């Protein structure tokens, strides 16, 4: 079966790396992978991978220039900027293709909803939600079910330094650069939805620190989304794309002083020194822990998608409902537009529970991070997690040596 990766940039390279590893296990033929990219050449990361594989995978500038394929059975992997995904999906479907992997976030303009609905109903589609396929997330889900945890508040922090990528045009659609809500927050939204249920209200969404960039501001800086899930639990999703180190953390604060603290491994090959782990705690006591030195969530995601799309019969893993696409799309559109208080299109009345800590944290983020209260809470969570990791297994904490030196000299260490 042929695979066409549409987009030869960073996302395309991450997907190709996963396909390459599947090929080594005999599950697909690397020679049957082709690329389409308007530049006609691979990005730097993809070029390195292709050279390492000794691959001569062609990169066509447009679909019409592809080597002959069988459209109905070919997998089309759309690794494009968020605003380009819906038009590209429609275009490839109109050309006869019926099997798709679609990167996040899948933003759908109002005028395209009906046509996207027809495409989804007539195709086999897998949405990329790679962090749900990680060992870390699977462990968090198991803990929630095993201990019947009742989350009151979910806080995620996905931050990194994205400035150089942005200047190179990564994720740009024409002259429009992506906002913070189109980079890390889509991951955080589906993680939160998987653990708490779908969001029913967004109480605050703010692009806090837009970056300047000529006539078109890049707006790729710092953002936060605060809201409620169906059962009344609150969520705070925060991302700072000018942060000097990579952070992928989840904190679930639950009833009876129980909490889950997790660190996801980034998917980028060059960041393999970042390790992953999950802790279940009651107050100061660690009840359970799982630590991972390898957690390739993109490989697990692509492996699952490939199996679903090559199966003889369509299954639920390759079927996507239009509402499933529109919920996060509407949330992200509302955040980009700065309409605080906006709710997803499928919002239902929820039962809001009262919890003093939950209300304090939500209020801190709703007021914005400029006062320092929101950042102080994030720093507190990060330091608590770091203390536990250092105590349990120091080598797993990349900042252990810096912390040890600071402790010996009395220097301050930024969290």
CA distance 35 to 46: 11
Q: Are 169 and 81 in contact (CB under 8 A)?
A: no
| Predicted pLDDT of residue 212 | 43
CA distance 137 to 140: 5
CA distance 129 to 187: 7
Handedness of CA 263, 162, 199, 227 (dihedral sign): positive
232 — pLDDT class (breaks 50, 70, 90)? confident
| Mean pLDDT confidence for 363-386 | 80
269, pLDDT greater than 60: no
360, pLDDT greater than 90: no
Structure-token pair, residue 54: 């000794």
292 exposed, middle or buried (CB, 10 Å; 0-12, 13-18, 19+)? Answer: middle
Choose between 18 and 82: higher pLDDT: 18
| Predicted pLDDT of residue 168 | 55
Nearest CA to 206 among 182, 226, 233, 229? 226
Choose between 248 and 402: higher pLDDT: 248
Phi and psi of 410, rounded to 5°? 80, 10
Structure-token pair, residue 166: 């942005």
| Predicted pLDDT of residue 208 | 65
pLDDT, tens digit (0-9, with 9 covering 90-100), for 391-413: 665 555 444 455 455 555 544 43
Choose between 336 and 318: higher pLDDT: 318
Q: Are 343 and 205 in contact (CB under 8 A)?
A: no
Give CA 232 to chain center in angstroms. 23
pLDDT, tens digit (0-9, with 9 covering 90-100), for 63-75: 999 988 899 999 9
**DSSP 8-state code for residue 176:** B
Lowest mean pLDDT segment, chosen from 41-50, 100-109, 343-352, 390-399 = 343-352
pTM of the model: 0.85
| Predicted pLDDT of residue 356 | 72
338, pLDDT greater than 50: yes
Tell me what percent of the residues of the chain surpass a pLDDT of 90.
49
**333: CB partners within 8 A, 6+ apart:** 107
| Predicted pLDDT of residue 48 | 94
């Amino acid at each position: 079966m042929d695979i066409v990766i549409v987009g030869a940039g960073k996302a395309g390279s991450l997907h190709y790396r996963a396909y390459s590893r599947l090929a080594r296990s005999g599950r697909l033929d690397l020679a049957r992978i082709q690329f389409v990219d308007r530049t006609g050449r691979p990005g730097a990361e993809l070029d390195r991978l292709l050279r390492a594989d000794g691959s001569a995978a062609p990169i066509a500038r447009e679909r019409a220039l592809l080597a002959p394929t069988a459209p109905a059975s070919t997998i089309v992997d759309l690794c494009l900027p968020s605003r380009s995904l819906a038009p590209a999906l429609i275009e490839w479907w109109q050309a006869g293709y019926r099997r798709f992997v679609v990167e996040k976030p899948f933003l759908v303009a109002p005028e395209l909803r009906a046509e996207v609905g027809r495409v989804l109903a007539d195709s086999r589609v897998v949405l990329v939600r790679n962090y749900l396929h990680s060992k870390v997330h699977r462990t968090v889900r198991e803990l929630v079910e095993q201990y019947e945890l009742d989350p009151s508040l979910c806080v995620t922090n996905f931050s990194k330094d994205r400035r150089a990528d942005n200047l190179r045009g990564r994720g740009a659609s024409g002259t429009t650069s992506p906002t913070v809500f189109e980079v890390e927050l889509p991951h955080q939204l589906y993680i939160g939805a998987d653990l708490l249920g779908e969001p029913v209200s967004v109480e605050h969404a703010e692009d806090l620190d837009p970056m300047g960039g000529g006539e078109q501001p890049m707006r790729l800086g710092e953002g936060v989304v605060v809201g409620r899930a169906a059962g009344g639990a609150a969520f705070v999703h925060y991302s700072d794309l000018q942060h000097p180190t990579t952070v992928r953390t989840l904190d679930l604060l639950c009833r009876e002083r129980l909490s889950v603290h997790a660190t996801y491994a980034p998917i980028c090959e060059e960041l393999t020194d970042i390790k992953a782990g999950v802790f279940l705690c009651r107050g100061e006591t660690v009840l359970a822990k799982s630590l991972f030195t390898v957690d390739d969530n993109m490989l697990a995601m692509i492996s699952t998608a490939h199996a679903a799309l090559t199966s003889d019969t369509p299954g639920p893993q390759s079927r996507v409902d239009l509402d499933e696409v529109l919920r996060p799309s509407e949330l992200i559109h509302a955040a980009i537009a700065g309409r605080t208080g906006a709710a997803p299109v499928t919002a239902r009345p929820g039962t809001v529970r009262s919890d003093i800590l939950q209300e304090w944290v939500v209020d801190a983020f709703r007021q914005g991070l400029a006062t320092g209260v929101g950042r102080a809470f994030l720093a507190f969570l990060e330091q608590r997690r770091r203390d536990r990791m250092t105590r349990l297994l120091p080598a797993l904490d990349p900042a252990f040596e810096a912390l040890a030196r600071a402790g010996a000299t009395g220097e301050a260490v930024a969290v």
